[in-house]
Copies of this chain bind each other. A is one copy, B any other.
């Protein structure tokens, strides 16, 4: 097998990021299986045609069900709005297609479990889009932990801070509507933190959270596209049905304590996706706004020169670096998607499930829902109870 034919459903923000990653992958990872950009699919025929041309897809369609019927399509990439994930994934699995699904896997834990059951029953490969795992600096953190170089983990604290909807006149886009988006900051941003915690520290046993919607009504937009929208100030208002911010505390199976915060109301933070881990032998700090860097501390450094090191994860010793530029020449957001797909292609070559996959998607959904339940019931929730 030298190539995988892709049918992609979705063509907005994530569709663009995925397309670019498929497009760049063969150039920088020439030994990888090659993703072939066969068909792009979307509801608006003009827009999807334009996307196909711009992004470099061979064909385009508005009918995803027809797409699933094609024998020449190996993998379905789902990055349509969140409420569409489940139906498409279930059908794709039925059709025997391998699946890459953007996060969140589904709007509910039950749905995500059905999806997992479906892909497992179908025996297809499945992956979920937790792209931040694939920043080389994050992979360095993972390596340090796996090699025991941070010792026993005591603390994981993570925060994903944005400020793009702080203006009360920012319109009521789909991401602010529960029926489409599932949740707000929690599912959009918090989900990434939860997956990062699972990846780096392991499973959680219990959680308790709190959330708030600071701006309770917003102008209904006349038209929506991706993250933005157009609206006139005179336009009618509608209720915001998702959270603007969600925080929670957690305990991990290994005894570590966790603190999580996701908000879209942190002025000055465009996209501060950050975590810190403290272990018995050292600590690491990551901030996605400086995604090429990992701050690293070791307790056994010589006593007069102890301090956090600013490691630029662009050296030969760092993951994926050989594919890119000389040391010190940084990469950006889009590279996390390229690396994700390298993992996906490697899984095909090695005939194994890629990681993270639907199992990780379900686990993330489980914690998201446990936090929601803890907010509703105002008490600690055991993850295993869900």
A-to-B contact residues, CB < 8 Å? 13, 17, 19-20, 23-24, 26-28, 30, 53-56, 140, 143-144, 154-155, 157, 159, 161-164, 166, 208-210, 212, 214, 227, 245, 247-249, 251, 255, 257, 259, 261, 263, 265-272, 276, 278-283, 288-292, 296-299, 301, 303-312, 314-318, 325-335, 378-380
Contacts and interface: CB of A to CB of B under 8 A. Distances in A.
A294 to B, nearest CB: 8
A331 B333 contact: yes
A273 to B, nearest CB: 9
A54 B32 CA distance: 11
Contact of A143 (B53, B140, B304, B318): B304
Contacts of A282: 267-268
A17 B155 contact: no
Given A163-B299, A245-B257, A248-B249, 12 more contacts: A30-B53, A154-B214, A162-B328, A267-B278, A267-B282, A268-B283, A271-B326, A271-B327, A288-B328, A303-B316, A310-B310, A325-B333
Given A30-B54, A296-B307, A309-B309, A157 B261 contact: yes
A249 B247 contact: yes
15 contacts: A24-B24, A27-B54, A143-B304, A166-B299, A214-B255, A247-B249, A247-B257, A266-B276, A266-B283, A267-B281, A268-B278, A268-B282, A270-B314, A305-B309, A325-B332
B312 A309 contact: no
B312 A210 contact: no
A254 to B, nearest CB: 12
Contacts of A318: 304
B263 A155 contact: yes
A328 B24 CA distance: 22
A312 B270 contact: yes
Contacts of A55: 27
A304 B259 contact: no
B279 A267 contact: yes
A245 B208 contact: no
A74 to B, nearest CB: 22
A159 B162 contact: no
B328 A331 contact: no
Most-contacted residue by chain B among A144, A209, A267 (CB, 10 A): A267
A303 B315 contact: yes
A185 B144 CA distance: 27
Nearest to A291: B330
A310 B311 contact: no
A245 B154 contact: yes
Contact of A306 (B268, B304, B325, B379): B268
A289 B257 contact: no
Given A56-B27, A140-B304, A304-B143, A271 B311 contact: no
